[in-house]
């Protein structure tokens, strides 16, 4: 059986403290005074609200499902999946088979396009649910739903005449119809597992995608700071669009925080003893060093990926603290421990922007306690 590293034990916390803290974090997010989990009046569906934008997103619903399967919370998992299939799934149009990325809490779609990070998290959470709880019927036949979703993602053009979510070379797109990517969408540790559990004819593609994403991440993360941009071209160069998506995305900002967290989890799950694992360790060390050496009033700011400090403060400082800590799965040395201590001593965020920060917080809590596992 695979052994999962518990960073919190390494910084002196007891097993009892850690178990309690993980459960308390889940309960606060789903049922506490600052919860952003809601259920419909009939009790048949549940959803996480993006409290900053007052909508529900495939990002959040799929994150919630992953959190629930890791925490063995089947009831909440099924309510979230029912919401996704009832209100987000598109059964017609150019994006048939995908999920609308933004939906009003009333259930009305705000968009008719998908965001691929939602689909990949849906698929992975569904496979884990199948393996933890067994397949049910209809939409709760988790493994069948996951396989069909992955098939749609990479064969959409031939199935429905639309755009695939991955390039033929195995790189995930920012959205299916545009030719650039988001470094934080790249999850090679997911793709290796997709290759094991997908339809037989798609195994080679997912193996290729895992390799392609690891090679891509080497180009997207700065060699000295470890920082990545929010969006980039397929060669890793920051994507300069300042108009289409509401401002800059070539910098290290909100989306980009997740990249190093994903690299840390990939290291823990599958790449520790590989050449990519060596690169991951150095990149995590570089990123933690960059933040440790910043002036105190600048260490939750906005940066070019080369470390140039820009005007303004991070929109999601708690989420940034969480992902710096999750990098400790790959990092080594005293900075890795200190990042774990800093995160342990950071409370969940309150206020309008708590959704994104606290989702990243929960993933870091699971990861650093050895509870973000392959099932």
HEC sequence for the chain = CCCCCCHHHHCCCCHHHHHHHHHHHHHHHHHCCCCCEEECCCCCCEEECECCCCEEEHHHHHHHHHHHHHHCCHHHHHHHHHHHHHHHECCCCCCCCCECCEECCCCCECCCCCCHHHHHHHHHHHHHHHHHHCCCCHHHCHHHHHHHHHHHHHHHHHHHCCCCCECCCCCECCCCCCCCECHHHCCHHHHHHHHHHCCHHHHHHHHHHHHHHHHHHHHHCCCCCCCCCCCECCCCCECCCCCCCCCCCCCECHHHHHHHHHHHHHHHHHHCCCHHHHHHHHHHHHHHHHHHCCCHHHCCEEECCCCCEEEEECCCHHHHHHHHHHHHHCCCCHHHHHHHHHHHCCCCCCCCCHHHHHHHHHHHHHHHCCCCCCC
Residues 6+ apart with CB under 8 A from 163: 156, 157, 173, 176, 177
Q: Report the distance separating Cα 354 and Cα 45, nearest Å.
A: 22
Tokens for 219?
Answer: 């180009």
Q: Report the distance separating Cα 330 and Cα 236, nearest Å.
A: 21
Give the pLDDT confidence score for residue 117 in this predicted structure. Answer: 98
Tokens 């150095």 belong to: 282
Choose among 221, 280, 218, 281: nearest CA to 252: 221
| pTM flag (> 0.95) | yes
Give the pLDDT confidence score for residue 243 in this predicted structure. Answer: 64
Q: What is the dihedral of CA 287, 293, 296, 297, to 10 degrees?
A: -70
Are 90 and 97 in contact, with CB atoms under 8 Å apart?
A: yes
Residues 6+ apart with CB under 8 A from 259: 183, 184, 186, 217, 220, 221, 228
Residue ranges and CATH numbers for the domains of the chain are 1-35+216-375 (1.50.10.10), 36-165 (1.50.10.10)
Q: Report the distance separating Cα 267 and Cα 367, nearest Å.
A: 11
Task: Tell me the C-alpha to C-alpha distance, in Å, between residue 248 and each of 57, 178, 303.
Answer: 21, 17, 11
Q: Report the distance separating Cα 141 and Cα 135, nearest Å.
A: 5
Active-site residue set? 59, 255
Tallying the residues shown for the chain, one arrives at 375
First and final CA of the chain: distance in angstroms? 11
Give the pLDDT confidence score for residue 245 in this predicted structure. Answer: 73
Choose among 166, 171, 128, 164: nearest CA to 146: 128
Please, is 43 exposed, middle or buried when counting C-beta atoms within 10 Å of its C-beta (0-12, 13-18, 19+)? Answer: exposed
Per-residue pLDDT of the chain (375 residues; tens, 9 = 90+): 789 999 999 999 999 999 999 999 999 999 999 999 999 999 999 999 999 999 999 999 999 999 999 999 999 999 999 999 999 999 999 999 999 999 999 999 999 999 999 999 999 999 999 999 999 999 999 999 999 999 999 999 999 999 999 999 999 999 999 999 999 999 999 999 999 999 999 999 999 999 999 999 999 999 999 999 999 999 999 998 776 777 899 999 999 999 999 999 999 999 999 999 999 999 999 999 999 999 999 999 999 999 999 999 999 999 999 999 999 999 998 899 999 999 999 999 999 999 999 999 999 999 999 999 999
Q: Report the distance separating Cα 224 and Cα 248, nearest Å.
A: 22
What are the residues facing 134 on neighbouring strands?
none
């Amino acid at each position: 059986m695979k052994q999962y590293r518990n960073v919190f034990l390494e910084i002196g916390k007891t097993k009892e403290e850690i178990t309690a803290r993980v459960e308390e974090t889940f309960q606060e997010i789903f049922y506490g005074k600052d919860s952003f989990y809601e259920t419909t009046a009939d009790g048949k569906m549940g959803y996480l609200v993006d409290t900053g934008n007052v909508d529900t997103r495939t990002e959040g619903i799929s994150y919630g499902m992953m959190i629930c399967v890791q925490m063995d919370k089947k009831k909440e998992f099924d309510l979230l999946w029912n919401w996704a299939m009832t209100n987000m799934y598109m059964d017609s149009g150019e994006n048939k088979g995908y999920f609308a990325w933004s939906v009003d809490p009333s259930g009305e779609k705000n968009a008719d396009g998908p965001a691929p990070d939602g689909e990949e998290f849906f698929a992975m959470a569904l496979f884990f649910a199948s393996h933890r709880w067994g397949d049910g019927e209809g939409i709760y036949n988790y493994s069948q739903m996951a396989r069909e979703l992955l098939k749609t993602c990479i064969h959409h053009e031939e199935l429905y005449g639309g755009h695939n979510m991955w390039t033929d070379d195995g790189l995930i797109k920012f959205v299916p119809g545009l030719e650039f990517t988001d470094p934080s969408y790249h999850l090679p540790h997911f793709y290796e597992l997709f290759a094991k559990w997908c339809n037989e004819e798609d195994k080679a593609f997912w193996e290729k995608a895992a390799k392609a994403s690891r090679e891509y991440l080497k180009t997207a993360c700065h060699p000295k700071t470890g920082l990545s941009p929010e969006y980039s071209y397929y060669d890793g160069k920051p994507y300069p669009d300042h108009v289409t998506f509401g401002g800059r995305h070539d910098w290290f900002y909100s989306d980009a925080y997740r990249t190093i967290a994903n690299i840390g989890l990939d290291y823990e799950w599958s790449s520790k003893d590989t050449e990519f694992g060596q690169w991951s360790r150095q990149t995590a060390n570089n990123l933690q060093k960059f933040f440790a050496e910043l002036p105190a009033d600048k260490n939750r700011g906005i940066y070019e990926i080369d470390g140039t400090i820009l005007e303004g403060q991070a929109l999601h400082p708690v989420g940034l603290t969480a992902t710096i800590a999750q990098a400790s799965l790959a990092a080594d040395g005293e900075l890795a421990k200190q990042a774990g201590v800093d995160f342990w001593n950071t409370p969940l965020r309150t206020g309008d922007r708590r959704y994104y920060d606290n989702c990243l917080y929960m993933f870091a809590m699971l990861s650093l306690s050895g509870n973000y596992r392959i099932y």
